[in-house]
A = this chain, B = another copy of it.
Amino acid sequence: MAPRIVVDAMGGDHAPDVAVEGAVHAARGGGVSLVLTGPEATIRPLAARLAGGDAALEALPIRFVDAPEVISMDEQPVSAIRRKKQSSILVGLRLVRDNEADAFVSAGNTGAIMAAATLVLGRLPGVERPALAALLPTRDGTTVLVDVGANIDVKPQHLEQFAIMGACLSRAVRGIENPRVALLSIGEEEGKGNELLRGVHQVLKRAPINFVGNVDGKDVFSGHADVIVTDGFTGNAILKSCESLVKELYGLVRREIDNSLMARIGVLLMGPTLRRIGRRMDHSEQGGVPLLGVARPVFIGHGSSSVKSIRSAIRAAATFTERRVNEAIEEGVRQLGVVAPEETSAETRDAVATGNARKVRP
């Protein structure tokens, strides 16, 4: 059976138009069946118009579930999900919880989606903190950066879990057997950074992952690691500043080219090459970031998502479901065992000191 994906029709700066059009495109593309949540009286006629009529819509694997309330992009998340039980976000997540669908996709209020997903779906067994994972393009592949915004304050064991979850994602989505996991630091040497970072380094060293040590910012796009773990504040700052840099560079290049006839002719000749470059740079190819660690697949898109972004996020959620990433995360976190860092015994500490940490793991 094709994965059944709920799409929040009211999520994003250009909802419902963009979200609904993205869903129609994804439905036409095949391989998924979709559920749209939102005020049905609005979104059904819109979908029919975008699909090319009622009959054409009927032929697509899309159904509608009415959700009369809307959580806006800038609403305070916790109070919004408390007040708006019939919002497109909560109605959609309950469908996934009740197994009427497999995954949830929204370009809406990130804070509200994260809080609601944790509340309605719950966390995978053993996961302490769900985290957002971004797939960043590198020269030859993709680096998973986690967390990119769910957790500002983190403890070493949270980063250990981010590492496990990121590795599962890298393995499932990119087919990398034994992903190289690195810790973002301010220098590559183990001794650099503050006390927290040194503590995390020790925890990651003995975790059941392929830990390759510290990297710094210059390795985010170099491909030296398949997974880079950091706190959600730093990860968010990296992701957003890099997105903003690409956008500004694109604008700069456009303005400079527009100022020169020769350059405009040059661009015509470069057409196919530029389109290939654009595809690799375009974040909408990715579409959305998964919220790792909640019990069912949840993808969150940019507020400014385009039709293509929504379609890509639906595609990514389907792949995540089909490749059973959550099952892998659950197994990975289970293997971390019950020895939480705070409960580390003297034996474990000795083992860490002598580099034999793995021996004390079950």
A352 on the interface (CB 8 Å rule)? no
Q: Which residues in window 188-211 of A have CB below 8 A to B?
A: 189, 191, 193-194, 197
A248 in contact with B193 (CB, 8 Å): no
Give Cα distance in the complex from A153 to B247, angstroms.
31
| A245 close to B244 (CB less than 8 A) | no
A194 nearest CB across to chain B (Å): 5
Q: Output the residue of A243, A249, A251, A272 with the most chain B CB within 10 A.
A: A249
Which residues of B are found within 8 Å of A260, using beta-carbon distances?
270, 272-273
Residue ID in chain B nearest A275 by CB atoms? B256
Q: Does A286 belong to the interface (CB within 8 Å)?
A: no
Q: List residues of chain B with CB within 8 A of the CB of A240.
A: 216-218, 220
Does A269 lie within 8 Å of B263, measured CB to CB?
yes
Cα–Cα, bound, A252→B266 (Å): 18
Q: Decide if A236 is an interface residue (CB 8 Å cutoff).
A: yes
Q: Which of A244-277 contact B (CB under 8 A)?
A: 244-249, 251-253, 256-257, 259-260, 262-263, 265-274, 276-277
A280 to B247: give the CA distance in the assembly, Å.
15
- Whether the Cβ atoms of A218 and B244 lie closer than 8 Å is yes
Most chain B CB within a 10 A radius of its CB, from A193, A233, A240, A268: A233
What total of chain A residues lie within 8 Å of the partner, measured CB to CB? 64
Within the assembled complex, what's the spacing in Å between the Cα atoms of A271 and B263?
8
Within 8 Å by CB of A244, from B76, B221, B262, B263, lies: B221
How far is it, in angstroms, between the C-alpha of A15 and the C-alpha of B111 when the chains are bound? 49
Chain B contacts of A248 at CB under 8 A? Answer: 138-139, 221-222
Whether, in the assembled complex, A237 has its beta carbon less than 8 Å from a beta carbon of chain B, the answer is yes
Q: Which residues of B contact A234 (CB under 8 A)?
A: 233-234, 237
Question: Within 8 Å CB of A149, what residues of B?
Answer: 186
> Do B194 and A218 touch (CB < 8 A)?
no
Residues of B within 8 A of A76 (CB): 191
Give the Cβ gap from A115 to chain B, nearest Cβ, in Å. Answer: 13
Taking CB atoms, residues of chain B closer than 8 Å to A197 are 152
For the complex, give the distance between the alpha carbons of A184 and B277 in Å.
Answer: 30
Given known A-B contacts A149-B186, A186-B233, A281-B249, A244 and B219 have beta carbons under 8 A apart: yes
From residue A249, how far is it (CB to closest CB) to chain B in Å?
7
State whether the Cβ of A238 lies closer than 8 Å to any Cβ in chain B.
yes
Chain B residues within an 8 Å CB radius of A256: 273, 276-277
Known contacts A194-B152, A259-B273, A270-B267; A220 and B249 CB within 8 A of each other? no
A221: B residues at CB distance < 8 A: 241, 244-245, 247-248
| A267 contact set on B, CB distance < 8 A | 266, 270
Interface string of A212-226 (1 = CB under 8 A from B): 000011111110000
A208 to B285, CA, bound (A): 45
Given contacts A217-B239, A230-B237, contact A266 B270 (CB under 8 A): yes
Contacts A74-B189, A218-B240, A263-B272 supplied; 15 other A-B pairs, CB < 8 Å: A111-B187, A186-B237, A216-B236, A219-B244, A221-B244, A221-B248, A222-B244, A222-B248, A237-B237, A237-B238, A241-B242, A245-B246, A249-B249, A256-B277, A260-B273
